[in-house]
Amino acid sequence: MKKYKNDPNLYFDYRDPKTLGRYLDSYGRIEPISKTGLSAKQQRQLAVAVKRARHIALLPFVTK
């Protein structure tokens, strides 16, 4: 089942780096809300999931 951005049940799992990687730019930074199109609540959930994934080394902190 595919989840869409405007779906209120959208959930970001820190163990899924492929999905989280879609919301990162080429430098590894989280894209702003204006580019992601997420709600403020979803953007905060995304940020927490990305930070957790970085902490356990599923995502890099920076890229070259």
Q: What CA dihedral angle connects 14, 15, 17 and 22, to 10 degrees?
A: -50
Question: In this model, does residue 3 exceed pLDDT 80?
Answer: no
Q: Give the pLDDT confidence of 36-54 residue by residue, as tens digits.
A: 999 999 999 999 999 999 9
Residue 1 burial (10 A CB sphere; 0-12, 13-18, 19+): exposed
* Three-state secondary structure call for residue 58: coil
Q: Give the pLDDT confidence of 16-38 residue by residue, as tens digits.
A: 999 999 999 999 999 999 999 99
Look up the pTM and report it.
0.87
Classify domain 1-64 at the CATH superfamily level: Ribosomal protein S18 (4.10.640.10)
pLDDT score for 4: 59
Q: Which residues pair with 24 in a beta bridge?
A: 30
Question: In this model, does residue 8 exceed pLDDT 90?
Answer: no
